[in-house]
Structure 1
Amino acid sequence: MIRISVLFLAFTFFSCGSNADKSKENVQENTSGVTALTDEQLLDAVQKQTFKYFWDYAEPNSGLARERYHPDGVYPENDSNIVTTGGSGFGLMALVSGMSQGYITKEQGVERLNKIADFLGKADRFHGAWSHWIDGNTGKVKPFGTKDNGGDLVETSFLVAGMITVREYLKDGSEKEKAVAQKYDALWKSVDWQWYTNNKNVLYWHWSPNYAWQMNFALEGYNECLITYVMAASSPTHTIDAKAYHEGWARSGGIVSSKTKYNIPLILKHNGAEEFGGPLFWAHYSYVGLDPNQLTDKYANYWDLNVNQTKINYEYCVQNPNKSAGYGPEYWGLTASYSRNPDGSIGYNAHMPSNDQGVISPTAAISSIVYTPKESVAVIRNLYENHKDETWGDAGFYDALSLGNKWVAKRYLAIDQGPEVVMIENYRTGLLWKLFMNAPEVKQGLTKLGFKSGKYGIQ
């Protein structure tokens, strides 16, 4: 499992975040009538409050998303200015959502987006790709690990998916909006996806100017990296051959699974998690812009794939074989997040049915709302109405909970808060899916890889 092997373990040893002062452009919260909220009002309250992560608590110099935000202001290594590339991609989509919903004005959003584009244009890049972490003060790479001090293609793909979404949102606007759209257009087109094949029919996650290809992580499915191949195939400047997708990612057809759990087909082989499927962020990260509705190729129906993974995760929590306190229809959802160490301290773990630590991550159910609306709303309503004092803070629900142990990680991560905002928006309006999927290059890239989508006329 690629991210569990690299990203998750790295999180165990590195900690970064922010002690953010609220900006003057605060988003107002409506705290009245908690138990009287309709589903739509409840979703709006969660979306608006979670949006604050990317607005009030963004890294001030760059405008990008901090890797993490600790409301108590306690951060190891004094690294509160470190920003995350992938989480900032989700943040770009969140800014579009915030403008559309009226949480901020369009003028405010465009000003922030312009600031971000200028920063990214000057930040360290490695054959066009950004690093996993960036110093928000200097734009220099912040090593994610000793050898992980160069380009991170997966995080870059999350970022450029956000860039394309921003471009599509602004491209027909005012002259200033068009100018900002052009900046994002130029940035995403300068990524050299072809370089990251290392002259093979597969993409590689990392390249370092000091360690070259020593990380040696080929992107083979299935995990969260589908969007990386879609972006690489969509590039009009540095595209990859479709063989990289079919022979590399799809393992020449070996990606397909015939296994079921709870009589639900898994459809694809989840790396290292073939019995139950992986952590639920695998159903989120690639699909914040990539609309799985009616999306198919010769390996999968991607709507069924994601719905099934979510339902397996849900069923596992409802059946609760480990007898974890509280698990059930209103308290479920396993994915990577902060975690409870055996001594009660806060760590990080890739929660999933095959690695159940008794910790629920709110982003798991919330970001799955497009797939399981009834089940997801049940969790949101339970936490908001029955456990708000323990679980709700400055930027929405805290990152991880073990209510049976009376434990809450009162911290936030960009890669968890971002999909919440974006997927709630997609559930409510479909806006971010529509913007991304209607980008001409995305349609061309999907066609190149053999995808079909009747919803967007991709045949």
Structure 2
Amino acid sequence: MKSLQILYLVLILLMSACGGSKKTNSATASSGTDSLTDDSLLTLVQKRTFDYFWEGAEPNSGMARERIHIDGEYPQNDQDVVTIGGSGFGVMAILVGVERKFISREEAVERLSLVVDFLGKADRFHGAWPHWFEGKTGKVKPFSKKDNGGDLVETAFMAQGLICVSEYFRNGNEEEQGLANRADSLWKSIDWSWYRKNGENVLYWHWSPQFGWEMNFAVRGYDECLMMYLLAAASPTHGVPADVYHEGWARNGAIKTDAEQFGYKTILSHNGSPGSVGPLFWAHYSYLGLDPTGLKDKYADYWALNKNHTLIHRAYAIQNPKGYKGYGEKSWGLTASYSVNGYAGHKPGEDLGVISPTAAISSYPYTPEYSVQVIRYLYEDLEDKVWGKYGFYDAFSETEHWYPQRYLAIDQGPQVVMIENGRSGLLWKLFMKNVDVQNGLNKLGFESPHLKR
């Protein structure tokens, strides 16, 4: 298997030398050995995972399918259901694809134009998109009985991607500038202020034209939703005052904590539980664009927050208090993913012996050596049990000998983007230079090396 992968990379390099339009990058594989260099291995993981959003996209919309099951077993007949948050990660992955020469710039513009045009016609609820769409029609597919309207958190993840698309093509040719302008207009048409539920100083996750505010989910930190609050403050058209962030998200300062796990400070209270940490996607989703390097406000140093969060997960796996097979330095990272007992939000102390590759891989910027150690174990030791057409499968359990051949968009996307942020800072640079984002960060009292005051 490894020899075939090396041959694959060599062939890509030969295509590049001959002017081939679809190539990976200039990374070379080791010759005469079955081991790839770290650089080549990272590129291979990015390329395979990128293909989920490129080759695996729903064709009418260009959007990311919620899930792709290689084993062919789908729940709810949802093979063509597309996801707004996962597609937000996907449009960022497409920008990585251009930079890494997986696709041409022209191909990216064509695909992203399809996505942006679909989003402009699809169902929206006071500017927010639903969690799921029918890919063929753009009509909402209920995520649950009452979740059939706007999903502001998932919408924020798409807006994050649209801002990066706008910045990437802003100074391009006429077609690229048109794409940039349409992407910019889409995110600016989101009515963040509506989701204050009659002017409260907190943002609500859902609103439905049928059920109104019945889901009643006021989002108070800390979890994956920082991006929603930042963009709500940053919006030049439908913005919210800073008090919504400080009173709602930060709970008037109660978000802070002095708690520790395994010798690492947790810094923020995770969903109001000072002594625990959440699944690792909390350290990824909002930080695909928001650069935590040197990012601080009166509540946290966000680099320390995310690095400690990652190190706590690793330390938990090494200690392995429940005695699960495979846990350790080479196999760690718990997050929301498929599980032996259905979908679950795995985290230290609340886990089922299930490792989700995206957890350690998407933490690459925080723990590059430790994350590569996991990638090598998965790729070189577990091999085809966990590695397939679109990169590493969503989750596995060595304890249960459970290796489903299934993918989820929200777990694949962060891998491509966060590896790239760790390698080049591409998406961080794009997002952080946006004028509206900078205004929002200043408005909320953040410090960052990117900020112009």
TM-score bucket of the superposed structures, by smaller chain: over 0.9
Normalising to structure 2: TM-score of the pair? 0.92
1:367 aligned to which of 356, 362, 367? 362
What does residue 456 of structure 1 align with? 450
What does residue 356 of structure 1 align with? 351
Q: Deviations over 1:284-336 (max 9, x none)?
A: 00000000000000000000000011111110000100011111100111111
Supply the distance in 2 between the matched residues of 1:295 and 1:442 (Cα, whole angstroms). Answer: 13
Supply the distance in 2 between the matched residues of 1:26 and 1:349 (Cα, whole angstroms). Answer: 37
Structure 1 residues 84 and 27, CA gap change in structure 2 (3 angstroms): farther
Structure 1 residues 401 and 274, CA gap change in structure 2 (3 angstroms): farther
What does residue 220 of structure 2 align with? 220
1:393 aligns with 2:410: no
Please give the secondary structure, in 2, of the residue aligned with 1:340: coil
Supply the distance in 2 between the matched residues of 1:103 and 1:240 (Cα, whole angstroms). Answer: 39
Please give the secondary structure, in 2, of the residue aligned with 1:134: strand
Please give the secondary structure, in 2, of the residue aligned with 1:50: helix
Residue 26 (structure 1) shift:
8.1
Q: Deviations over 1:172-207 (max 9, x none)?
A: 001100011111011111000001111111110000
Please give the secondary structure, in 2, of the residue aligned with 1:78: coil
Provide structure 2 residue ranges, at least 5 long, that are not aligned to the other structure.
Answer: 1-20
1:126 aligns with 2:110: no
Supply the distance in 2 between the matched residues of 1:423 and 1:211 (Cα, whole angstroms). Answer: 37
Q: What does residue range 41-190 of structure 1 map to in structure 2 within 5 Å? A: 41-190=40-189
What does residue 243 of structure 2 align with? 243
Residue 410 (structure 1) shift:
1.1
What does residue 377 of structure 2 align with? 382
What does residue 414 of structure 1 align with? 409
Residue 28 (structure 1) shift:
7.6
Supply the distance in 2 between the matched residues of 1:145 and 1:26 (Cα, whole angstroms). Answer: 40
1:37 aligns with 2:31: no
Supply the distance in 2 between the matched residues of 1:134 and 1:27 (Cα, whole angstroms). Answer: 32
Q: Which moved more, 1:398-407 or 1:292-301?
A: 398-407
> What is the one-letter code of the residue matched to 2:451?
G
Supply the distance in 1 between the matched residues of 2:106 and 2:71 (Cα, whole angstroms). Answer: 31
Supply the distance in 1 between the matched residues of 2:272 and 2:391 (Cα, whole angstroms). Answer: 31
Supply the distance in 2 between the matched residues of 1:390 and 1:372 (Cα, whole angstroms). Answer: 25
What does residue 13 of structure 1 align with? none
Q: Deviations over 1:157-179 (max 9, x none)?
A: 00000000000000100110001
Please give the secondary structure, in 1, of the residue aligned with 2:339: strand
Residue 76 (structure 1) shift:
2.5
Structure 1 residues 405 and 435, CA gap change in structure 2 (3 angstroms): same
Residue 458 (structure 1) shift:
4.6
Normalising to structure 1: TM-score of the pair? 0.91
Q: Deviations over 1:373-406 (max 9, x none)?
A: 1110000011111111211001000000112322
Would the aligned equivalents of 1:172 and 1:178 in 2 still touch at CA under 8 Å?
yes
Residue 75 (structure 1) shift:
1.5
Residue 271 (structure 1) shift:
1.2
Supply the distance in 2 between the matched residues of 1:194 and 1:125 (Cα, whole angstroms). Answer: 15
What does residue 340 of structure 1 align with? 340
Q: Considering only aligned residues, what root-mean-square deviation do their CA atoms show, in Å? A: 1.6
Would the aligned equivalents of 1:35 and 1:385 in 2 still touch at CA under 8 Å?
no
Supply the distance in 1 between the matched residues of 2:126 and 2:57 (Cα, whole angstroms). Answer: 27
Provide structure 1 residue ranges, at least 5 long, that are not aligned to the other structure.
Answer: 1-24, 342-346
What does residue 308 of structure 1 align with? 308
Structure 1 residues 289 and 28, CA gap change in structure 2 (3 angstroms): closer
What does residue 427 of structure 2 align with? 432
Supply the distance in 2 between the matched residues of 1:409 and 1:269 (Cα, whole angstroms). Answer: 34
Supply the distance in 1 between the matched residues of 2:74 and 2:248 (Cα, whole angstroms). Answer: 39
Supply the distance in 1 between the matched residues of 2:289 and 2:66 (Cα, whole angstroms). Answer: 21
> What is the one-letter code of the residue matched to 2:438?
K
Please give the secondary structure, in 2, of the residue aligned with 1:62: coil
Residue 275 (structure 1) shift:
2.5
Residue 437 (structure 1) shift:
0.4
> What is the one-letter code of the residue matched to 1:200?
E
Q: Which moved more, 1:267-276 or 1:117-126?
A: 267-276
> What is the one-letter code of the residue matched to 2:270?
H
Please give the secondary structure, in 1, of the residue aligned with 2:34: helix
Please give the secondary structure, in 2, of the residue aligned with 1:402: coil
Q: Deviations over 1:219-239 (max 9, x none)?
A: 100000000011111111000
Q: What does residue range 163-312 of structure 1 map to in structure 2 within 5 Å? A: 163-198=162-197, 199-271=199-271, 273-312=273-312
Supply the distance in 2 between the matched residues of 1:27 and 1:156 (Cα, whole angstroms). Answer: 32
Residue 273 (structure 1) shift:
4.8
What does residue 15 of structure 2 align with? none
Supply the distance in 1 between the matched residues of 2:374 and 2:77 (Cα, whole angstroms). Answer: 34
Q: Deviations over 1:266-294 (max 9, x none)?
A: 10000165323000000000000000000
Supply the distance in 1 between the matched residues of 2:30 and 2:273 (Cα, whole angstroms). Answer: 43
Q: Deviations over 1:244-263 (max 9, x none)?
A: 00000000000001111112
Residue 134 (structure 1) shift:
0.7
What does residue 15 of structure 1 align with? none
Residue 407 (structure 1) shift:
1.2
Would the aligned equivalents of 2:30 and 2:37 in 1 still touch at CA under 8 Å?
no
Structure 1 residues 225 and 137, CA gap change in structure 2 (3 angstroms): same
What does residue 438 of structure 2 align with? 443
Supply the distance in 2 between the matched residues of 1:108 and 1:223 (Cα, whole angstroms). Answer: 35
Would the aligned equivalents of 1:26 and 1:56 in 2 still touch at CA under 8 Å?
no
Residue 44 (structure 1) shift:
0.5
Q: Deviations over 1:78-124 (max 9, x none)?
A: 22110000001100100111011100011001000000011000000
Supply the distance in 2 between the matched residues of 1:31 and 1:293 (Cα, whole angstroms). Answer: 31
Would the aligned equivalents of 2:162 and 2:183 in 1 still touch at CA under 8 Å?
yes
Please give the secondary structure, in 2, of the residue aligned with 1:128: coil
Q: Percent identity?
A: 59
Please give the secondary structure, in 1, of the residue aligned with 2:337: strand
What does residue 21 of structure 1 align with? none
Structure 1 residues 108 and 173, CA gap change in structure 2 (3 angstroms): same
Aligned residue-pair number: 429
